[in-house]
């Protein structure tokens, strides 16, 4: 990409962190008596939903300046409640001192991610690869979030059975500002789901899940195209998504015009 890498990484990482923060703030509004806490400063973001929650993490660290040992200690104290690992993301253009600080504390690499991105303009042509004609995509209403969570959780667990999804529901809310939730159906049956968050003119594509029996039909590409069209109408300048490298998700993103912008590390302590 021809844009300055540091500026692009900062912009995309901040947008991803703002999406996570939007989910956290929605959880706080819905359950003011709960333990959810949002931390934010020039050092970055940290979100704590509840003990052991899958979205507890620190994001966009060191994008606007260094992270001090004292600040990291405060993050660790919050995220490790109940003895759970502290999870954070390390982008390639973060303040160089951050990598040394994490090494000194014994952080390990938990996963590699690829952040893929594409620009969005009014001239974009989203004539993307074909998919099964039975696939339909729609934006969900607030009272349909239970179904969305069930589809997402089942897909992530490689199951076709839609069951109670309390864990997923505790992290995603229709009240999270800046987000739209999408459902894919095949022949009228729920087949996949995804979320689009628009923050500071960056469209964040996340939460994509497809039920096993509907894979290979183009459900994920259809969800991508629907979100691209909405993001462009919302005047987003960039679209991005973070995925595990070499996955079907990465291949689908690349077929839809996304390219690898940079890698990042998911680090863990404990």
pLDDT tens string 167-190: 888 899 999 999 999 999 999 999
Q: How far apart are CA 153 and CA 161, in angstroms?
A: 10
Q: How much is the mean pLDDT over the chain?
A: 93
Listed residue (174, 5, 156, 170) closest to 92, CA to CA: 5
Q: Does domain 135-262 have CATH number 3.30.70.20?
A: no
Q: How far apart are CA 232 and CA 123, in angstroms?
A: 10
Listed residue (194, 263, 235, 265) closest to 9, CA to CA: 263
- pLDDT higher for 14 or 143? 14
- Name the band, by pLDDT with cuts 50, 70 and 90, for residue 1: very low
On the question of pLDDT at 3 being above 60, the answer is no
Q: How far apart are CA 76 and CA 70, in angstroms?
A: 10
Instruction: Supply 211's token pair.
Output: 């039920």
Q: What is the mean pLDDT of residues 212-232?
A: 95
- pLDDT higher for 131 or 207? 207
Q: How far apart are CA 54 and CA 52, in angstroms?
A: 6
Listed residue (189, 180, 177) closest to 150, CA to CA: 189
Paired strand residues for 179: 197
Report the relative pairing of strands 202-210 and 238-243 from DSSP bridges.
parallel
pTM equals 0.93
**pLDDT of 31-71, one tens digit each?**
999 899 999 999 999 999 999 999 999 999 999 989 999 99
Listed residue (106, 54, 90) closest to 269, CA to CA: 106
What percentage of the chain exceeds 70 in pLDDT? 96
Give me the residue spans of the domains in the chain: 5-114, 135-262
Helix orientation angle between 219-233 and 248-255, rounded to the nearest 10 degrees: 50
């Amino acid at each position: 990409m021809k844009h300055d890498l540091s500026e692009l990484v900062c912009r995309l990482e901040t947008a991803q962190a703002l999406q996570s923060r939007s989910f956290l703030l929605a959880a706080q509004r819905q359950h003011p008596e709960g333990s959810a806490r949002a931390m934010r400063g020039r050092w970055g973001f940290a979100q704590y939903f509840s003990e052991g929650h899958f979205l507890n993490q620190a994001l966009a660290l060191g994008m606007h300046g260094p992270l001090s040992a004292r600040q990291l200690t405060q993050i660790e104290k919050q995220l490790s409640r109940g003895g759970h690992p502290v999870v954070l993301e390390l982008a390639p253009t973060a303040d160089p001192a951050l990598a040394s600080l994490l090494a000194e504390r014994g952080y390990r690499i938990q996963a590699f991610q690829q952040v893929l991105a594409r620009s969005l303009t009014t001239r974009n042509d989203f004539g993307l690869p074909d998919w099964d004609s039975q696939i339909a995509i729609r934006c969900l209403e607030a009272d349909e979030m239970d179904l969305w969570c069930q589809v997402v959780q089942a897909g992530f667990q490689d199951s076709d059975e839609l069951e109670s999804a309390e864990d997923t529901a505790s992290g995603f809310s229709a009240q999270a500002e800046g987000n739209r939730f999408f459902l894919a159906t095949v022949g009228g049956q729920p087949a996949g789901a995804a979320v689009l968050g628009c923050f500071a003119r960056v469209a964040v594509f996340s939460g994509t899940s497809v039920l096993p029996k509907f894979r290979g039909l183009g459900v994920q590409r259809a969800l991508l195209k629907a979100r691209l069209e909405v993001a462009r109408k919302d005047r987003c300048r960039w679209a991005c998504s973070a995925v595990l490298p070499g996955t079907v998700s990465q291949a689908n993103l690349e077929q839809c015009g996304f390219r690898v912008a940079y890698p990042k590390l998911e680090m863990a302590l404990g």
